Amino acid sequence: MPTGVHLRDVRTQLFDAAERVLANGGPSALTSRAVTDEAGCAKGVLHRHFTDFDGFLSELVLDRIAAVEARGEVLAEAAGTGSVVDNVTEALTDVFSSVAVSIVALITFRDELRTRLRTARPRGVPLVGDAARMLARYLTAERAIGRLSPTADVGTLAPTLVGAGHLHFADRGSAPASLRPMVTAVLSPVLG
């Protein structure tokens, strides 16, 4: 690999390369060599920017959690607009049609990564727990304006939707459109 190639945004390029490796080969295929080969750079580039490979993976997961949190801001602002079912379906599709399912597998696969993430984020399973909190915030806002029943148990609905969404996309062959009936089934008893 060439060592003199300038990378514009090293973090983004390496994270995107890791996602491609992860999506194509799963957690066992994800090595520092596979990431740098995919990014088209020397292996030393990764180690110049991160303490070690698990540090890189930890930063990757935290970066993807930040994206879920940003998506949560957009979703919370959508309360009162569109259809609740459509908003939730779109949010779950955004989270799980990306590499989130593979990242959850990665967290499960790598003990050191899990340990580091628990230090940084001690609550729940990283990414999945963040997605549940994103939906809970949105559903709470919808309940407050009367689009969900006042008795809707948001604390149960949000993780139920995230768990079902995760299972839906786990085989990587499910179409996002087929997610809507599940979201409808979960939410229909509480829609206002």
Lowest mean pLDDT among 54-58, 127-131, 156-160: 127-131
**pLDDT value of position 53:** 92
Mean pLDDT of 51-68: 90
- Cα 4 to Cα 12, 76, 170, distances in angstroms: 18, 45, 39
Using alpha carbons, select from 138, 145, 151, 156 the residue that is nearest to residue 190.
151
Using alpha carbons, select from 184, 22, 157, 14 the residue that is nearest to residue 98.
22
pLDDT at 4 over 50: no
**pLDDT value of position 172:** 58
Query: Contact 137/154 with Cβ under 8 angstroms?
Result: no
